[in-house]
């Protein structure tokens, strides 16, 4: 097992308690504990299967600090990926490993780049990009596999090892879909059922009605994003609001809305924050977004037009942005923790203020749905892309 970004969603200390209890190998070669002066966990392990010695290296995302709250990563450092992999490929070969496998959370493109840059990796088992590779892909002499996401597939990979020459002789593989005929583990099902008994009644409470399907978009305006951003702006009293598209975790068909739906749409336990920027800074934020440099955000209180990767025009509540005016901006604490990555802002010059941090965003969304009763949100052309 190796770490992805979501393993840190509930903090480093919680994660350390969890992996101290597991009965499988946890490896990560690119996470360094600065306080303790050592790797966060073992960088690699060696597995013996009959006469075959298998070296396994783990890799967390290169951009982990852009994907997680910084407080949840306190004391950690992400080391240069190619450098550590070269180092441990050499160490594992010196320790007699016949094949070397990298467990990677770099994403498919990152896996291909790693295979091109680093010699000696036999197999990369990937994640993060949720890519369903129906058959192994070979880059240089490295086999790359990935089995999608959410347990929809199991990946099957057969390897033939040439022990005389310590190399991978051949490989074949496929994805096995798990939708039908899968019997739940009885112990795990009992745990789920017990938790459902505790929380199910409240989660299944109908809190409103959705008149139009809510559909997420990661690179364009969405109706669900508009509604969430509108609530953010209204609740905080800000001039404008931003909702990161990646933080919207579920589409929702028209019909009854339950509290469970909102928990699944906004599962992270974020809270709202505010900060102030000049009109000049606000325009630069939109230019950064238009150029595709940061995670695409849904907006409220403003509209802007993009052509190619250039910002053509922008207004706040129907008026042109005044470069000297000070605007209040609302978002969630995840975005507030990554203002440079998402908007290109100099974070040393921005003061981010929590807004009722004990009142989580999903609780606010639930309350607003209850107040509004019936929800009809549409795409309004807030973010327009000209050809």
What gap in Å lies between CA 122 and CA 142, rounded to an integer? 5
**Average of pLDDT values for 356-373?**
96
User: Of 132, 157, 177, which residue constitutes the final position of a domain?
Assistant: 177
Query: Count of alpha carbons within 13 Å of 385, Cβ hemisphere only?
Result: 10
Angstrom distance (rounded) from CA 68 to CA 61: 11
* 320 occurs within a structural domain: yes
pLDDT at 229: 98
Check whether residue 101 and residue 238 sit in a common domain.
no
Query: What's the mean per-residue pLDDT of the chain?
Result: 95
- Chain Cα centroid distance, residue 367: 26
**Residue written as tokens 């209890």?**
21
Taking a C-beta distance cutoff of 8 angstroms, is the pair 57, 44 a contact?
Answer: yes
CA dihedral 279, 281, 287, 292 (to 10 degrees): -140
Burial of residue 105 (CB within 10 Å: 0-12, 13-18, 19+) is buried
Contact 290, 273 (CB under 8 A): no
Last residue of a domain, one of 131, 160, 177: 177
173 and 210 housed in the same domain: no
**Cα–Cα distance measured from residue 300 to residue 379, given in angstroms and rounded to the nearest whole number:** 12
Q: Looking at residue 270, what is its pLDDT?
A: 96
In a domain, 33, yes or no: yes
User: What is the C-alpha to C-alpha distance for residues 71 and 298, in angstroms, rounded to an integer?
Assistant: 25
Asked if the structure places residue 195 within a domain, the reply is no
E-strand ranges in 85-195 read 99-104, 123-125, 137-139, 142-145, 153-162, 167-177
Tell me the backbone φ, ψ of residue 378, rounded to 5 degrees: -130, 165
Six token digits for residue 60: 């967390």
> 307 lies in a domain?
yes
β-pairing verdict for 297-300 and 240-244: antiparallel
345 and 308 within one domain:
yes
Whether residue 122 is found in the same domain as residue 63: yes
Kindly report, residue by residue over 196-248, the tens digit of the pLDDT.
999 999 999 999 999 999 999 999 999 999 999 999 999 999 999 999 999 99
pLDDT of 249-271, one tens digit each? 999 999 999 999 999 999 999 99
Q: Say what the pLDDT of residue 182 is.
A: 79
Residue 62 resides in a domain: yes
Do residues 14 and 73 touch, judged by C-beta distance below 8 A? no
Domain containing 320 — which CATH number? 3.90.780.10
Check pLDDT > 80 for residue 56. Answer: yes
Q: pLDDT band at residue 272, thresholds of 50, 70 and 90? A: very high
Tell me the percentage of the chain whose pLDDT exceeds 90. Answer: 93
pLDDT of residue 167: 84
pLDDT value of position 26: 94
Shared domain for 44 and 138, answered yes or no, is yes
Beta bridge partners, 78, equal 31
Residue 150's pLDDT band, with cuts at 50, 70 and 90, is confident
Contact 152, 178 (CB under 8 A): yes
**CB count, 10 Å around CB of 27?**
21
Same domain, 169 and 231: no
**Confidence label for 165 from pLDDT (cuts 50, 70 and 90):** confident
CA distances from 222 to 199, 230, 350, 370 (A): 30, 12, 28, 22
Token pair for 50: 């009959």
> Mean pLDDT across the stretch 179-204?
90
Instruction: Give the number of domains in the chain.
Output: 2
| CB contact at 8 A, 123 and 157 | yes
What does 218-282 look like in DSSP terms, one character per residue? Answer: SSS--HHHHHHHHHHHHHHT-SEEEEEGGG----B-SEEEEHHHHHHHS-S---EEEEEEEHHHH
Q: How many Cβ atoms from other residues are within 10 Å of residue 190's Cβ?
A: 11
Which pLDDT value is given to residue 184?
Answer: 86
The label of the residue with tokens 């036999």 reads 122
Closest CA to 290 of 167, 168, 383: 383
Residue with tokens 């109908």: 206
Q: Final residue of a domain: which of 158, 177, 196?
A: 177
Q: Domain limits at 216?
A: 206-386
197-218: buried (b, 16+ CB within 10 Å) or exposed (e) per residue?
eeeeeeeeeebbebeeebebbe
**Same domain for 216 and 357?**
yes
282 and 238 both lie in a single domain: yes
Same structural domain, 17 and 141: yes
190 occurs within a structural domain: no
User: What pLDDT was estimated at residue 179?
Assistant: 77
In terms of domains, do 35 and 153 share one? yes
Q: Both 234 and 346 in a single domain?
A: yes
Mean pLDDT of 307-318: 96
Q: Is residue 197 situated within a structural domain?
A: no
My answer on whether 29 and 142 are in the same domain is yes
pLDDT band, residue 57 (cuts 50/70/90): very high
- pLDDT, tens digit, for every residue of 4-54? 999 999 999 999 999 889 999 999 999 999 999 999 999 999 999 999 999
Q: Is 63 within a domain?
A: yes
Q: Give the CATH number for residue 18.
A: 3.60.21.10
Residue 47 is encoded by which pair of tokens? 């597995």
DSSP state, residue 8: G
């Amino acid at each position: 097992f190796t770490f992805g970004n979501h393993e840190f969603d509930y903090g480093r200390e919680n994660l350390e308690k969890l992996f101290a209890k597991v009965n499988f190998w946890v490896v990560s070669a690119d996470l360094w504990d600065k306080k303790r002066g050592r790797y966060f966990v073992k960088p690699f392990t060696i597995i013996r299967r009959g006469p075959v010695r298998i070296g396994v290296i783990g890799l967390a995302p290169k951009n982990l600090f852009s994907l997680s709250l910084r407080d949840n990563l306190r004391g950690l450092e992400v080391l240069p990926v190619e450098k550590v992999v070269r180092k441990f490929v050499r160490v594992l070969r010196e320790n007699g490993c016949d094949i070397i496998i990298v467990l990677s959370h770099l994403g498919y493109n990152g896996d291909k780049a790693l295979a091109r840059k680093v010699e000696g990796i036999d197999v990369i088992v990937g994640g993060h990009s949720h890519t369903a590779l129906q058959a192994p892909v070979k880059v240089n002499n490295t086999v790359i596999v990935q089995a999608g996401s959410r347990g929809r597939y199991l990946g099957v990979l057969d390897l033939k090892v040439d022990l005389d020459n310590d190399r991978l002789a051949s490989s074949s593989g496929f994805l096995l879909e798990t939708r039908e005929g899968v019997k739940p583990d009885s112990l795990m099902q009992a745990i789920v059922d017990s938790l459902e008994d505790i929380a199910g009644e409240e989660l299944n409470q109908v809190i409103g009605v959705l008149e139009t399907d809510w559909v997420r978009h990661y690179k364009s305006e969405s109706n669900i994003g508009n509604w969430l951003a509108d609530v953010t702006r209204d609740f905080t009293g800000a001039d404008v609001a931003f909702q990161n598209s990646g933080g919207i975790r579920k589409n929702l068909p028209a019909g009854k809305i339950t509290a469970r739906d909102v928990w699944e749409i906004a599962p992270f336990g974020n809270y709202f924050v505010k900060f102030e920027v000049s009109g000049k800074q606000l325009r630069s934020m939109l230019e950064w977004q238009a150029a595709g440099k940061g995670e695409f955000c849904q907006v409220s209180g403003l509209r802007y037009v993009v052509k190619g990767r250039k910002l053509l025009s922008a207004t706040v509540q129907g008026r042109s942005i005044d470069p000297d005016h000070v605007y209040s901006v609302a978002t969630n604490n995840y975005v507030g923790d990554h203002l440079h990555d998402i908007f290109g802002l100099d974070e040393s010059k921005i003061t981010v203020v929590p807004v009722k941090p004990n009142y989580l965003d999903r609780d606010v969304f639930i309350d607003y749905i209850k107040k509004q009763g019936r929800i009809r949100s549409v795409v309004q052309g807030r973010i327009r892309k000209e050809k």
